[in-house]
Structure 1
Amino acid sequence: MIPAYKARIHEGKRGLIVGIANDQSIAWGCARAFRALGAELAVTYLNEKARPHVEPLAQELEADIVMPLDVREPGQMEAVFERITKTWGRLDFVVHSIAFAPREALSGRVIDVDRDGFLTTMDVSCWSFIRMAHLAEPLMTEGGALFTMTYYGSQMVVQNYNIMGVAKAALESAVRYLAAELGPKGIRVHAISPGPLATRAASGIPEFDELLEKARGKAPTHALVSIDDVGLTTAFLAHDAARSITGSTLYVDGGYHIVD
């Protein structure tokens, strides 16, 4: 169920949410928050296998646009933005919440990752955000906000995070460059770094349950964050009240990253 908030601070805003796989996804937490605050949404699903899991959630969001998007498939991303152009003619925000590494690349040492594994990881986890920014730019005629999801393993070596840490470091660098380039147009760019969350994507990381317990004990709040925590923070940053914040990595992790 979409929560009800009295303050509809995103009434009249329109945004694209990429990365909903199920009701445990960070992207779902973001979509719930934006919708509850009044925004109209476009939603994508990875493929036909994912469609039955995403379509009921899209219906709950009353999404105007629901389309497939596998960023590795030529033309699919462009088709999504063409549909947005025809349906809305503008865009206020984009949430990019996707990442992928082949299992052999993620589970092995960084030094052993082959070229194909490296390129696939970077393509899906980093370049796709740059490409989305490129396609969103002409639709954000009155400014806007672009969001991507990162993790602490971009800055510190986290056991079993491996090649994804390299990709997230590149992603955070891309956020800074995009923020500098798009800032004059009123477009802000953010990397959101949640603490460990039990999502479908995280299930591919070895010993992830141990990482969750470590985060719970280490964070100053002694609690794990939720997808709704991440969603509400993201929605705040999309508001005009946050118009002077851009180009940074914002941690939503109960303070996990500040404790040695």
Structure 2
Amino acid sequence: MNSYVTPPFLSLAGKKGLITGIANDKSIAYAVAKAIVELGGEIIITYQNEKTAQYTRPLAAALGATDFLKLDVTEPESLETVVAKCRDAFGEIDFAIHSMAFCKADDLHGRVIDSSEDGFNLAMNISCHSFLRMGKALEPLMAHGGALITMSYLGAERVVHDYGVMGIVKAALESSVRYMAYDLGPKGIRVFAVSPGPIMTRAASGISNFSHLLEADAHKAPLGRTVTIDEVGALTAFLCAKGSSGMTGQTIYVDAGAHIIA
């Protein structure tokens, strides 16, 4: 916890929200949760299944999460059940973090034109459409505005070797952010995609030659390095705070500047 008084435009005191996608203490979503709690926010954390819960339950407890709920967006009514419990616990929601993505290995590693219909639809459902559904489900709980934030990657804008179908899915996700921002803006609900540089997380381990991607980004980035999950967490927490109240609809890069280099 920071020892200094948080300026009002950075404080999340009294703010409440939902955080999805924590797999372990190396997850970007965990760093986001930690940053939000340090700024005074209250959180509900979700887990995907009992296997993942054994790793995330202690983290939720350490962060003082108000609740720890199962969320599997492939299961009917799972998201709606979580949102109902958020309503019961908090009444209103000020922010929600969507940090989930999935693609079958065969579809991820192969040519995009060889991707299976079922695999493509599954990747799009979990990684993109679930964010749209989350926005709709949380809209009634954001009567006084709020922030919806998802996680993207540079592969949405440029071809990244071995990123395959996920690049197409992330492009759709970033487009969804813009359209959601347009739809929800009149209600004061702001929408963002945060696009970190490559970070070694459990999800990243499924990408072929990921270590080479880390090295290449560190070499070309103006800051001469890759970023940390804590840096991504700090930026995401800022987007939940008053200091970012004039922003919406953007994809914001946290990649040591690597995205500006061809």
Q: TM-score range by the shorter chain?
A: over 0.9
Q: Post-superposition shift, 1:5?
A: 5.1
Equivalent in the alignment of 2:123: 121
Gap change, CA 1:236 and 1:7, over 3 Å in 2: farther
Equivalent in the alignment of 2:225: 223
Deviations 1:70-125 (Å, cap 9, x if unpaired)?
11111111110010111111100000000000111101110001110110000000
Pairing of 1:207-222 with structure 2 (within 5 A): 207-222=209-224
Name which of 46, 58, 75 aligns with 2:60: 58
Runs of 5+ unmatched residues, structure 2:
none
Give percent identity, aligned residues only.
Answer: 50
Q: Post-superposition shift, 1:141?
A: 1.1
Code of the residue aligned with 2:111 in structure 1: it is R
TM-score (norm 1): 0.98
SS of residue in 2 equivalent to 1:12? coil
Deviations 1:21-65 (Å, cap 9, x if unpaired)?
000001001000000000000000110000110000000110001
Equivalent in the alignment of 1:112: 114
RMSD value over aligned CA atoms?
A: 0.8
Provide the rounded CA distance (Å) in 2 between the counterparts of 1:212 and 1:76: 35
Provide the rounded CA distance (Å) in 1 between the counterparts of 2:25 and 2:255: 20
Equivalent in the alignment of 2:32: 30
Equivalent in the alignment of 2:248: 246
Provide the rounded CA distance (Å) in 1 between the counterparts of 2:70 and 2:89: 16
Equivalent in the alignment of 1:103: 105
SS of residue in 2 equivalent to 1:82? helix
Gap change, CA 1:5 and 1:94, over 3 Å in 2: farther
Equivalent in the alignment of 2:200: 198
8 A Cα contact 1:7 1:37, kept in partner:
no
Provide the rounded CA distance (Å) in 2 between the counterparts of 1:98 and 1:105: 17
SS of residue in 1 equivalent to 2:181? helix
Equivalent in the alignment of 1:69: 71
Equivalent in the alignment of 1:6: 4
Name which of 127, 133, 136 aligns with 2:135: 133
Name which of 39, 42, 49 aligns with 1:40: 42
Runs of 5+ unmatched residues, structure 1:
none
Code of the residue aligned with 1:145 in structure 2: it is A
Provide the rounded CA distance (Å) in 2 between the counterparts of 1:145 and 1:90: 12
SS of residue in 1 equivalent to 2:82? helix
Provide the rounded CA distance (Å) in 2 between the counterparts of 1:237 and 1:90: 18
Provide the rounded CA distance (Å) in 1 between the counterparts of 2:243 and 2:53: 35
Deviations 1:170-206 (Å, cap 9, x if unpaired)?
0000000000010111100000000000000000000
8 A Cα contact 1:5 1:36, kept in partner:
no
Gap change, CA 1:160 and 1:5, over 3 Å in 2: farther
Equivalent in the alignment of 1:173: 175
Provide the rounded CA distance (Å) in 1 between the counterparts of 2:134 and 2:222: 35
Equivalent in the alignment of 1:163: 165
Q: Find runs of 4+ consecutive structure 1 residues off by over 4 angstroms.
A: none
Deviations 1:143-162 (Å, cap 9, x if unpaired)?
00000000000000000000
Number of aligned residues: 258
Provide the rounded CA distance (Å) in 1 between the counterparts of 2:3 and 2:60: 19
Gap change, CA 1:62 and 1:5, over 3 Å in 2: same
Provide the rounded CA distance (Å) in 2 between the counterparts of 1:92 and 1:11: 11
